[in-house]
Structure 1
Amino acid sequence: MPHPDARPAGETVPADLTGLAAVVAENIRRHFPAEEERHRQVLALAEEVGEFVGAYRRWAGMARRTGDFSDVREELADVVITAYVTAHVLDIDLETAWRAKARHILSRGWRDQPDGNTS
């Protein structure tokens, strides 16, 4: 039985992660105190990362029970979605932020060499 707040199965999913984050954040706001939003969302992101790590460990045979790779895929998707929701509530333009970070990563070199050369 679907949750009373669930959207109908045929309803359109937002076209991008920023739009999805806005929809998710708005729905969460209807049910939880506004003054705790930022703390709650940062903790939710940490929780999702932990769930991803747990799913990976189960799939990789590093846990007491096994798991399917589909669980790894779904948990990683949860991490990405929750990161976008977290950015939304923190007023971070994540599209701009990840592009700026990518430029930095691609311009800094990959590994320092023993002689100090960074190429």
Structure 2
Amino acid sequence: MFNKETWYSIKKWKTYGQHFNGNGATGGKVALASRVSTGFKIGGYGLGTYNAWSINNQYNNGELNMSGMIMEQSSNLYATFGGTYGVAWGIGWEGGRAITKTTWYQQWKNDYWYNFREEHFGY
């Protein structure tokens, strides 16, 4: 939302160059865009810290093995500090987790996917 070259106006849903400071109609780059961007960054670090603690807790309680914990912590690290691509990774990772826990997905996997895989790939 706010970087060296551009800033994003929440009011206008438009990106502007840093040469334009904004006005009442755009919300202004410092008055709104910079503050919102900083809030997202701090919130993201907070969520990443909480998630790291939660992953360690799961590992300590025996809910995750060592390789699972390393995989989860690596994903969390990239999602927290990976910038735009890290955010996209984190959304995809957690979105996939949410989908695979649903009843309809489990039914689809058991009723369709395993049969398809056996028929076409032999396993």
TM-score bin, normalised by smaller chain: 0.3 to 0.5
Compare CA radii of gyration and give the structure with the larger one: 2
Which structure has the highest helix share of the two? 2
Q: Which has the higher contact order (CA 8 A, sep 6+)?
A: 1
Which structure has the highest strand share of the two? 2
